[in-house]
Amino acid sequence: MARRGFTRDHFALNHPAGSLGTKLLKVKALMHTDWPRTGISSSLTEVLRAMTEGRLGMTSVMEGPDLLGVITDGDIRRAIESAEREGRNPLGLQAGQIMSRTPATIDDEALALEAAGTMEARKITFLMVERQGRTAGLIHIHDLLAAKVL
């Protein structure tokens, strides 16, 4: 294979359903490049709309190309409970008050198996994907299941 210039990456692209192809599959082959986004001052209603339309159980909080954080269903539940305990109106919450500021990330060149391991270890369902230090997309556990990585 090597003499013909046929690399493991070529094999993975041509045989993604095979066990070797699956093991060599990179995050960039499975990631979403169009993912749910909202701004830091977005209202709770706007956040929920982005999450509903995105159908991934999350939205990123962006300022231009910069990732500021992510919001999950769980983040919203915790924020609503906290606001009610403090006597505040939960509908007045903004994305910046709800978001997790340190989302888990992975490089787009990483193996999909590494993404699966990170999600399993951290008990999360998605990772934000970076390319050369910039947010390029996200990979969801459903993407790994569909590709038979898990």
In terms of pTM, does the model score above 0.75?
yes
pLDDT tens digits along 70-86: 999 999 999 999 999 99
Helices (H), 17-150: 19-24, 27-30, 44-54, 73-85, 95-98, 112-122, 141-146
Query: Which pLDDT belongs to residue 6?
Result: 58
Distance, in Å, from the CA atom of 102 to the CA atom of 141, rounded to the nearest integer, reads: 19
Q: Please say if the pLDDT value at position 42 is more than 70.
A: yes
Confidence of residue 38 (pLDDT cuts 50, 70, 90): very high
Domains of the chain (ranges; CATH) run 37-102 (3.10.580.10)
CA distances (Å), origin 38, targets 11, 35, 83, 85: 38, 10, 21, 26
Q: Is the pLDDT of residue 21 over 90?
A: no
What pLDDT score was predicted for residue 4? 67
Predicted pLDDT at 9: 58
